[in-house]
Each structure stands twice: as structure tokens, then as C-alpha cells.
């Protein structure tokens, strides 16, 4: 018989897979003697089983749950539905990886009309009793029955207006009792039956709701963004309640052991008196800073400080905790390794090493490479920032610089973003429904909410700039405008946000790039470079990109696309003439014009790389991308070639292809127009000779990469042309210089015949964009349209163009590597598709034995860190 349910005393911190993060940590905290309200965890396996059984909780699981209710009743000395000493519980979801705000919690479960009277009388605190009951009806209706929060909130607002008060805490016991009955009426109106009174029935409903919430759209989006497999499932925690809403000697709080925005050591968080659950983060009342707790709750605060120290030492990482104080006594409700900004992650990792808690390897392994993105993106120009005058200030909830046009809804943020606008999302407060809009925005500004509000927590998780709780804003969401510092801002107006200081600026402030080579970031990257095995190169076509990539730590160019070298001024005309030429001589003459320009482009690239390797891919796109479309240009070309406009148009029409991605491109161009490959070879070799003459110690050894090969004879054909020209140039210059000729592996047939291709190719570079396209038979340009449906139908969990498909494409790669190496043991192997900068794909590349990954300049640090983490993991 499978065990599906565990008391907190039966579990421990290593059981995340089974108990979820929250459950495992509740068990761990229990084991190390911290004050945790007791309870039990229903395992993630029960969730998986629930889905396997067609969304049913089977009898076996159900009977174990019932058995554990009895155990919990024994432990607490309370009983479900009892009229003497009733047990009230929370029902909380908890997946293996924390998914903040994704699944909803129900508090005060176990209440009904009789029980609420019992606790009201026994406690002498009817206000508390009715507050619990109305909350429970509200949460249960929302989470279990999906009635929605809105109606209940409207009723509360109406009640407050009737009573002439502004805060929930000002409502009396009678008001809350009245609300509870209004809520039940609302429930009946919406659902058509009475609110359930049997605590066990309530519990079963709540457990099902948690399981069901694993599959809600928000959870699905979050999982996709964070690489959390659907198959993991969520656990359910049933925990006896601690009450923070019993009066002014009670309260609830959230805190971090270090500042999640900066990483600064010290308690950081908020506490709200006479409150429950999410009140502290929901922004209904402004909470106090955690430090202020010391005066008002000296004993609980002292206990809490000790608990924080214990937890940090125990987990050897910054902790994010939830707790409640009931009549001055502290209860711990949750702890986890806290989410943090990229800046904070760097500082904390370094500090933990300096404090002797972590080794450098562990520090490197702690950092989520995906977070580096924000650090590499522009910050405000310090001088411009100093000169600018802020028009308002909220909390610096998540650092970064954001500048964009104001939008007021998450949907608008997405729509504007999709048409290429940079937007700042301005809201009263955010909720989980806003996630996609928050992601689409450059930054988020909220009127309400503290440092641990939804907006703040989610923005930090996304590494996105957020300024929260700017109460100075007079918001008019309905009319899409707000007033700040005497000025009215409309949709589309530009503002800038500084997520570190919380300052808000009218208009745009110029931005500059961040520095990855110094400070904590530099220290982490230095360690990463020590640990990694893979070489990290960059995909760069211009000296500027190459320089940027070098600054970011690139050790070479893995892919230089040469197509843009045909587009510049003076080049495109010549190239068009070449396309329209009738004879080889004419074509060569036209290319002769482009040769010196390409040569100087390559020289500049070699200079930027200072002797580090440069792989140059020969012309890849189909010719029709180069021909003129404007009437005037067509006419000019006709005149130049002494042809009629009609002739040129006919020629252009003849270049049309139904499926250009599989058309006349790649090495196929070099087969039909060897002149192009000759010209490019000359440019590559002459440039290297010149740069080597200037910098004899660099020893530039160009790597020529032939694209889109599917058959060895194609490579033989093109290589012959390349080698003849290269040897001729080297001989003419009288130098001793090497070069390499290799190929991209981007057509499945190339991977399948790698043993043959390796006889000619000195290196393989996996072009996984095309390889994915051709292995799946999905057009890179059109797949987006149906992939969304694939995610929704759970056919795919991630985009195969972003995350390497290890089962299919990866299998082709492994096969090509094995067969290629069998023929040529020193075959040099790399990857230059989008996947080269994706951390999980990098890990796979390390595993299958590639020599290098190549990615866009801004992803170079991500790849370096991912490569280090892969090496550390594979060593272990």
C-alpha cells in the first residue's frame, strides 16, 4: 500500500519531491524544534494519482486522509466540528518548487454556524470568530467553488461605506456576522446550494481544489516560464490554525533574513497587527517594518530573531519566512530559500562564502543563470539620473531601470508589447491574473502594497523593475489615467522607474549597460570560469557585437553570419549586379567590388577578438532576399546591366520560392555560384594574413563554416573551391598560416551521415535552430501560432526552439558526435543555435561532450554560469 499522507513529524527537508517544498520545510522546522502548528501533508503522488484517476481522489487516499485527521485531532486535542474544542485548519498547496501566488490557500476550515458560536463564546472574542468565518466563506467560495473574490469584496466595501469606516479592522463583530450571512447568501445565489457545514466535506472540497489548481492557466504559465514539469504535481498541507486576528497582541508577518533586493544582511520584512494570512501582503492596510515589532512584541520578536538565525544556519541560505503571533506567542508557518534579485543573489552567494557557510562551487551553483539577464540589461545613466528630478517615490521593490509608455491593464501591456512598444504597467495593485502583463512590461508601478506585495514578489522573481506602494498617485483606473505631482498622466505617456530607489520620473531617462566584470558579479563569474569545462563563444557579426561579447567573457566567435556584409552601401548594388549577371566573368567582376569591403569587415572582427578563434559562416540566405523590390531600384539595376526592367522583373520572379527555408540557400548557393565562396574565402584569408602581420603573436587561424550541408559530396565540392583559393592566397603572401574548414550540422541527414561528413569537416557546429525546424518539420517562423495550443494541450511543455529537445534533436546530436569522432577523434564540436544560451540546453551540451557553446553576446555570462553549473553537477 502506498503511503500518501505524512504527519509533519514523519517528514523532513529532503522530502521535497514527495511532500512539496512547503511540506518538507514544515516537517524540517518541526524536527529542529521550531514552533510550528502541527498538521499533515498529502503527497504529490496523491496529486498525480488524482489526475491519473480522471480527477478523482480514490478511496485509498481518502481513507488515509481520514486516518490522519484523527491523528491530528489527537495531537492538537481538538476535534473537527466539535462543540467544545473545535479544530480549525488551513489547507495549503505546495509544489516541489515554490510557485508564489499560483495556488490558493484556505484558512479557518472547519467552521460552521454552530462552531463559530462556540469559539465566539469560549474566546470571549466574537469579533475574531466572525472574522474567521467570513474569511473562510470568502476563500472557500473563491478557491473551491470558483465564485470569484469580487462579489465578496464588493460586499465588504459596501459594509465599510455603510458603517462609515475605511479599514476592515474597524468593522465590529456584528458587522462581520452580518457579512458572513451576506456571503452565504451570495454563495447560495451563485452555486445554488447551501454553504457546506460538515468540516470533512469542506476538507475534501479544499483538497480537490488544491489538486485542481495545479492545472489552472496561471500555474501552467508559471511552470513553463520556470521549467517546472507538469508531472511533478502539488502536495497539500493541512495544518492547524494559528490566529493572528485575535486582537492587538496578535498579528502576522513575512520576513527575509537578508534584503531580497540588495542582499544586505539583516532582517527584512513586514508585520501587521490583528491580521490573518495574506493581509500583510495584500496591501489592505500598511504593515509595519519588521524592526518595529521589537517595541510592540518584544518577546515574539526575540523568539523570531533566534528562529531566523537557526534557519539560516540550517539551510545555509537566505530564508523567506511566514509567521503569526497569537497572543504574543510566535508560530512559524513557512520557510523557504528566498527569491531574490540577481544583484542580491550575487551578493548573498559571495557573503555566504565569506561567512564560511558555502564553498565557491556551492555559491556558483546557487545562482539561477536565467536571472543574470537583468544584470546585463541597461541601468539608468548615473549622470542623467542625478540630474533628473523625481516626481514621486514608492518602494524600491525590485531593482532595475524601466522606461516606457504607461498602460493600465495587463491585457494592454501584452497587446502594446506585442506591437513592439516598451510599456510600464501602472496598477492600483497587481494580482496573479496580471502575470503575463507584468512580464510583457519593462517595469511595474503600483499605488498600494509593500515590499512583499504580489507585485514586488513576482517582479523580483521575474527580475523586472518594480516600484510598489506609491500612495501619492491618485489613480483613475477606469478612465486610464492618474495624477502625480500635479500632473495627469494618460495611457501612452512615457515615465521612468528606478526599482532600486523607488523613484518615479516624468519622461525617459537615458540608460547605460551594466558591468559584469566587477563586484560580486565579477567574483561569481571568475569562479564560474574556473569550474566550467565548455568554452563559451558568441554569435556576432559586427566588431561592436564582438567587443561587447568579449567584455561579457566570450572566448571566441562561434558564428559570424556574413549576410549583412552584402547589404552595406556600395555592396548591395554590386551583389545585385552579380545576381543578374549572365557569365562567370561578369559575376566575378561584380564580387570583386565587395571583396575589399568584406576583407576589412573580417579584419575588424579579428582585431576585436585579439587572436581568439573566429568561425565564419559563408553566405546562407536565399538570393531573393537580396534583390530589389522598389521600382526605382529595379530600374537602376536594369540600366546598370543594360537590360530592360521587364528582364530584371522576370529574373526576380524566377528567384521566388514556395519554401525558401528549404530552398536555394546555404551551401547550395556555393555549389551554383562558386564565385561567392571564392570571394568570401579570399576575404577571410587575406584579412587574417594582414592581422597576423600586425599582431604576430595572435596567430589568427580562421575557421570557415559551410552551412546547410546534407551530403558529403556537397561539402567536398565546396571545400575544394575554398581550399584552392585559400592555399593560393597563403602561398602568394608567402606566410605560414593555418585555417580550418568545417560544417554546420543542421539538417537531419547531415547528422545521420556524420561519419562520412567528418572525413572532410574539421569541425561540426550544430545549428540547432534549423536542426530543430527540420527534425520537427515545424517552420521556425510559423510554429508560434500553434505551439500555444500545444502547451495548452500538454503536448509540449516548452518551446523546442528555445529549449533543446533532448529526446529527438539531442539524439541526432549524440549520434553525430559519436559517428563523427569515430572517424576523426579530434573533431571540434560546438553549438550555435539559440539553445547555446539556454541553461538547461547548455547542461545537455556539457553532458554530450561538446567543446563549446555559442550564443548571443548578452547571453554569454548566462552560458558561462550554466557551463560551470553543468561541470559542477557532472563532477558530483
Query: What is the grid cell recorded at 469?
Result: 506602494
Could you say which of ligand ADP, Mg ion, none residue 311 binds, taking C-beta under 5 to 8 angstroms by partner kind?
Answer: none
- Provide, rounded to whole angstroms, the least separation between the CB of residue 806 and Mg ion: 20
Nearer to Mg ion, 95 or 171 (CB): 95
Site string for ligand ADP, 275-314 (x = CB under 6 A): --xx------------------------------------
799 near Mg ion, judged by CB under 5 A:
no
Q: Which stretch binds Mg ion (CB under 5 A): 160-168, 738-746, 772-780, 785-793?
A: 738-746
Residue 465 a catalytic site member:
no
37 near ligand ADP, judged by CB under 6 A:
yes
Could you say which of Mg ion, ligand ADP, none residue 641 binds, taking C-beta under 5 to 8 angstroms by partner kind?
Answer: none
Q: Where does residue 844 fall: left (phi above 0), alpha (psi -120 to 50 degrees), or beta otherwise? A: alpha
Question: Which residues are CB-neighbours of 320 under 8 A, at least 6 positions away?
Answer: 254, 255, 256, 260, 334, 335, 336, 337, 338, 339
Question: Which residues are CB-neighbours of 431 under 8 A, at least 6 positions away?
Answer: 454
Residue 373 CA to residue 474 CA, distance in Å, equals 33
Residue 355 CA to residue 363 CA, distance in Å, equals 12
Residue 126 CA to residue 132 CA, distance in Å, equals 10
241 near ligand ADP, judged by CB under 6 A:
yes
How many residues bind to ligand ADP according to rule CB under 6 A? 15
Site string for Mg ion, 746-775 (x = CB under 5 A): x--------------------x--x-----
Residue 746 CA to residue 83 CA, distance in Å, equals 72
**Over the range 137-150, which residues count as b (16 or more CB within 10 Å of their CB) and which as e?**
bbbbbbbbbebeee
Helix ranges (DSSP H) in 214-260: 217-225
Answer for which of 16, 92, 177, 548 binds ligand ADP (CB under 6 A) is 92
Could you say which of Mg ion, ligand ADP, none residue 107 binds, taking C-beta under 5 to 8 angstroms by partner kind?
Answer: ligand ADP
Could you say which of Mg ion, ligand ADP, none residue 746 binds, taking C-beta under 5 to 8 angstroms by partner kind?
Answer: Mg ion
**Over the range 313-347, which residues count as b (16 or more CB within 10 Å of their CB) and which as e?**
ebbebbbbbbbbbbeeebbbbbbbebbbbbbbbbb
753 contacts 712 by C-beta, under 8 angstroms = yes
What is the CB-side half-sphere exposure of residue 314 using CA atoms within 13 A?
22
Catalytic residue among 454, 624, 828, 835: 454
101 near ligand ADP, judged by CB under 6 A:
yes
Could you say which of ligand ADP, Mg ion, none residue 105 binds, taking C-beta under 5 to 8 angstroms by partner kind?
Answer: ligand ADP
465 contacts 438 by C-beta, under 8 angstroms = no
Residues numbered 217-236 forming contacts with ligand ADP, rule: CB under 6 A: none
- Provide, rounded to whole angstroms, the least separation between the CB of residue 94 and Mg ion: 9
763 contacts 703 by C-beta, under 8 angstroms = yes
Could you say which of ligand ADP, Mg ion, none residue 239 binds, taking C-beta under 5 to 8 angstroms by partner kind?
Answer: ligand ADP
Could you say which of Mg ion, ligand ADP, none residue 770 binds, taking C-beta under 5 to 8 angstroms by partner kind?
Answer: Mg ion
Answer for which of 131, 259, 320, 322 binds ligand ADP (CB under 6 A) is 322
Could you say which of ligand ADP, Mg ion, none residue 277 binds, taking C-beta under 5 to 8 angstroms by partner kind?
Answer: ligand ADP
Answer for which of 41, 43, 64, 90 binds ligand ADP (CB under 6 A) is 90
Nearer to ligand ADP, 289 or 640 (CB): 289
621 near Mg ion, judged by CB under 5 A:
no
- Provide, rounded to whole angstroms, the least separation between the CB of residue 216 and ligand ADP: 13
Residues numbered 241-280 forming contacts with Mg ion, rule: CB under 5 A: none
Could you say which of ligand ADP, Mg ion, none residue 628 binds, taking C-beta under 5 to 8 angstroms by partner kind?
Answer: none
Kindly list the strands in the beta sheet with 106-109, ordered across the sheet, starting from the edge strand earlier in the chain.
5-7, 39-42, 234-240, 89-95, 106-109
Question: Which residues are CB-neighbours of 582 under 8 A, at least 6 positions away?
Answer: none
Residue 742 CA to residue 627 CA, distance in Å, equals 29
394 near ligand ADP, judged by CB under 6 A:
no
432 near ligand ADP, judged by CB under 6 A:
no
Measured between alpha carbons, how far is residue 127 from residues 168, 177, 240, 579 in Å?
11, 8, 20, 85
Residue 454 a catalytic site member:
yes
321 contacts 334 by C-beta, under 8 angstroms = yes
Q: Which stretch binds ligand ADP (CB under 6 A): 238-246, 381-389, 775-783, 786-794?
A: 238-246
Could you say which of ligand ADP, Mg ion, none residue 278 binds, taking C-beta under 5 to 8 angstroms by partner kind?
Answer: ligand ADP
Residue 819 CA to residue 754 CA, distance in Å, equals 6
- Provide, rounded to whole angstroms, the least separation between the CB of residue 711 and ligand ADP: 56
Catalytic residue among 132, 465, 832, 855: 832
Q: Which stretch binds ligand ADP (CB under 6 A): 99-107, 579-587, 704-712, 730-738?
A: 99-107
Residue 171 CA to residue 168 CA, distance in Å, equals 6
638 near ligand ADP, judged by CB under 6 A:
no
Residue 403 CA to residue 355 CA, distance in Å, equals 38
Q: What are phi and psi of 2, to 5 degrees?
A: -75, 140
836 near Mg ion, judged by CB under 5 A:
no
751 contacts 816 by C-beta, under 8 angstroms = yes
- Provide, rounded to whole angstroms, the least separation between the CB of residue 37 and ligand ADP: 5
324 near ligand ADP, judged by CB under 6 A:
yes
Q: What are phi and psi of 268, to 5 degrees?
A: -145, 120
- Provide, rounded to whole angstroms, the least separation between the CB of residue 103 and ligand ADP: 7
333 near ligand ADP, judged by CB under 6 A:
yes
Residues numbered 334-373 forming contacts with ligand ADP, rule: CB under 6 A: 334
Three-state secondary-structure class, residue 403: strand
Could you say which of Mg ion, ligand ADP, none residue 90 binds, taking C-beta under 5 to 8 angstroms by partner kind?
Answer: ligand ADP
CB atoms within 10 A of CB 385: 20
> What would the 3-class secondary structure string for 722-738 be?
HHHHHHHHHHHHCCCCC
- Provide, rounded to whole angstroms, the least separation between the CB of residue 125 and ligand ADP: 16
Residue 13 CA to residue 26 CA, distance in Å, equals 8
- Provide, rounded to whole angstroms, the least separation between the CB of residue 756 and Mg ion: 20
Residue 811 CA to residue 806 CA, distance in Å, equals 6
Answer for which of 237, 303, 334, 496 binds Mg ion (CB under 5 A) is 334
Q: How far apart are the first and last CA of the chain?
A: 34
Nearer to ligand ADP, 239 or 869 (CB): 239
Could you say which of Mg ion, ligand ADP, none residue 30 binds, taking C-beta under 5 to 8 angstroms by partner kind?
Answer: none
Catalytic residues: 454, 832
Task: Summarize as ranges the residues that interact with ligand ADP (CB under 6 A).
Answer: 37, 90, 92, 101, 105, 107, 239, 241-242, 277-278, 322, 324, 333-334
Task: Summarize as ranges the residues that interact with Mg ion (CB under 5 A).
Answer: 322, 334, 746, 767, 770
Amino acid at each position: 500500500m502506498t503511503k500518501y499522507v505524512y504527519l509533519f513529524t514523519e517528514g523532513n527537508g529532503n522530502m521535497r519531491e514527495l511532500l512539496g517544498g512547503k511540506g518538507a520545510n514544515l516537517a524540517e522546522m518541526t524536527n529542529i524544534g521550531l514552533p510550528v502548528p502541527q498538521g499533515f501533508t498529502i503527497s504529490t503522488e496523491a496529486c498525480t494519482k488524482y489526475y491519473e484517476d480522471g480527477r478523482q481522489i480514490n478511496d485509498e487516499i481518502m481513507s488515509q486522509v481520514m486516518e490522519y485527521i484523527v491523528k491530528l485531532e489527537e495531537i492538537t486535542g481538538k476535534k473537527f466540528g466539535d462543540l467544545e474544542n473545535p479544530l480549525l485548519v488551513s489547507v495549503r498547496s505546495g509544489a516541489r518548487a515554490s510557485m508564489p501566488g499560483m495556488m490558493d490557500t484556505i484558512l479557518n476550515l472547519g467552521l460552521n454556524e454552530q462552531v463559530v458560536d462556540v469559539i465566539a463564546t469560549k474566546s470571549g472574542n466574537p469579533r475574531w470568530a466572525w472574522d474567521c468565518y467570513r474569511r473562510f466563506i470568502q476563500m472557500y467560495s473563491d478557491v473551491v467553488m470558483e465564485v470569484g473574490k469580487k462579489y465578496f469584496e464588493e460586499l465588504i466595501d459596501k459594509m465599510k461605506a455603510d458603517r462609515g469606516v475605511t479599514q476592515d479592522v474597524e468593522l465590529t463583530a456584528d458587522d462581520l456576522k452580518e457579512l458572513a450571512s451576506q456571503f452565504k447568501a451570495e454563495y447560495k445565489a451563485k452555486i445554488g446550494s447551501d454553504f457546506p457545514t460538515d468540516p470533512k466535506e469542506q476538507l475534501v472540497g479544499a483538497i480537490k481544489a488544491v489538486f485542481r489548481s495545479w492545472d489552472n492557466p496561471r500555474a501552467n504559465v508559471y511552470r513553463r516560464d520556470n521549467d517546472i514539469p507538469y508531472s511533478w504535481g502539488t502536495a497539500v498541507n493541512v495544518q492547524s490554525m494559528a490566529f493572528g486576528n485575535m486582537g492587538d497582541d496578535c498579528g502576522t508577518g513575512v520576513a527575509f533574513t537578508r534584503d531580497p533586493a540588495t542582499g544586505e544582511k539583516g532582517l527584512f520584512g513586514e508585520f501587521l497587527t490583528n491580521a490573518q494570512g495574506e493581509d500583510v501582503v495584500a496591501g489592505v492596510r500598511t504593515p509595519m517594518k519588521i524592526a518595529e515589532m521589537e517595541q510592540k512584541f518584544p518577546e515574539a520578536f526575540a523568539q523570531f530573531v533566534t528562529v531566523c538565525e537557526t534557519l539560516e544556519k540550517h539551510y545555509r541560505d537566505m530564508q523567506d519566512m511566514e509567521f503569526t503571533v497569537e497572543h504574543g506567542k510566535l508560530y512559524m508557518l513557512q520557510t523557504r530559500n528566498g527569491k531574490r534579485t540577481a544583484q542580491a543573489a550575487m551578493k548573498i552567494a559571495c557573503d555566504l562564502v565569506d561567512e564560511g557557510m558555502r564553498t565557491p562551487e556551492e555559491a556558483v551553483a546557487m545562482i539561477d543563470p536565467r536571472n543574470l539577464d537583468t544584470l546585463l540589461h541597461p541601468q539608468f545613466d548615473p549622470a542623467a539620473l542625478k540630474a533628473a528630478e523625481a516626481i514621486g517615490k514608492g518602494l524600491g521593490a525590485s531593482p532595475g531601470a524601466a522606461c516606457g509608455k504607461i498602460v493600465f491593464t495587463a491585457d494592454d501591456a501584452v497587446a502594446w508589447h506585442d506591437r513592439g512598444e516598451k510599456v510600464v504597467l501602472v496598477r492600483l495593485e497587481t494580482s496573479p491574473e496580471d502575470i503575463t502583463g507584468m512580464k510583457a512590461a519593462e517595469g511595474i508601478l503600483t499605488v498600494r502594497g509593500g515590499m512583499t506585495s504580489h507585485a514586488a514578489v513576482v517582479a523580483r522573481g521575474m527580475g523586472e523593475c518594480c516600484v510598489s506602494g506609491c500612495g501619492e498617485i491618485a489613480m483613475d483606473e477606469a478612465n486610464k489615467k492618474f495624477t502625480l505631482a500635479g500632473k495627469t498622466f494618460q495611457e501612452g505617456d512615457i515615465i521612468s522607474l528606478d526599482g532600486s530607489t523607488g523613484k518615479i520620473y516624468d519622461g525617459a531617462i537615458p540608460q547605460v549597460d551594466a558591468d559584469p566584470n566587477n563586484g560580486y558579479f565579477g567574483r561569481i563569474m571568475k569562479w564560474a570560469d574556473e569550474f566550467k569545462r565548455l568554452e563559451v563563444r558568441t554569435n556576432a557579426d559586427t566588431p561592436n557585437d564582438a567587443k561587447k561579447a568579449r567584455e561579457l567573457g566570450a572566448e571566441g566567435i562561434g558564428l559570424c553570419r556574413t549576410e549583412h556584409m552584402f547589404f552595406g552601401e556600395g555592396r548591395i548594388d554590386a551583389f545585385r549586379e552579380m545576381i543578374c549577371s549572365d557569365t562567370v566573368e561578369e559575376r566575378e567582376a561584380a564580387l570583386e567590388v565587395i571583396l575589399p569591403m568584406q576583407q576589412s569587415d573580417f579584419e575588424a572582427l579579428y582585431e576585436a577578438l585579439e587572436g581568439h578563434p573566429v568561425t565564419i559562416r559563408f553566405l546562407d540566405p536565399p538570393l531573393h532576399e537580396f534583390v530589389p523590390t522598389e521600382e526605382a531600384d529595379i530600374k537602376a539595376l536594369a540600366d546598370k546591366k543594360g537590360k530592360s526592367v521587364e528582364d530584371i522583373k522576370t529574373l526576380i520572379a524566377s528567384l521566388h520560392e514556395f519554401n525558401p527555408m528549404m530552398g536555394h540557400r546555404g551551401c547550395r548557393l556555393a555549389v551554383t555560384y562558386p564565385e561567392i565562396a571564392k570571394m568570401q574565402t579570399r576575404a577571410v584569408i587575406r584579412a587574417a594574413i594582414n592581422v597576423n602581420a600586425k599582431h604576430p603573436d595572435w596567430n589568427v587561424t580562421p575557421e570557415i563554416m559551410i552551412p546547410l550541408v546534407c551530403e558529403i559530396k556537397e561539402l567536398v565540392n565546396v571545400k575544394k573551391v575554398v581550399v584552392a583559393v585559400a592555399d593560393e592566397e597563403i602561398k602568394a603572401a608567402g606566410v605560414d598560416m593555418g585555417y580550418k574548414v568545417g560544417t554546420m550540422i543542421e539538417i537531419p541527414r547531415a547528422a545521420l551521415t556524420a561519419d562520412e561528413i567528418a572525413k572532410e569537416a574539421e569541425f561540426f557546429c550544430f545549428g540547432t535552430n534549423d536542426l530543430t525546424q527540420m527534425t520537427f518539420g515545424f517552420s521556425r517562423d510559423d510554429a508560434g501560432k500553434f505551439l500555444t495550443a500545444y502547451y495548452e494541450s500538454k503536448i509540449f511543455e516548452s518551446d523546442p526552439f528555445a529549449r533543446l529537445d533532448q529526446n529527438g534533436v539531442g539524439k541526432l546530436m549524440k549520434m553525430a558526435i559519436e559517428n563523427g569522432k569515430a572517424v576523426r577523434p579530434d573533431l571540434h564540436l560546438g553549438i550555435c543555435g539559440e539553445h547555446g544560451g539556454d541553461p538547461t540546453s547548455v547542461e545537455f551540451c556539457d553532458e554530450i561532450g561538446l567543446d563549446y557553446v555559442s550564443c548571443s553576446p548578452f547571453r554569454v555570462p548566462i552560458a558561462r554560469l550554466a557551463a560551470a553549473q553543468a561541470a559542477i553537477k557532472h563532477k558530483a
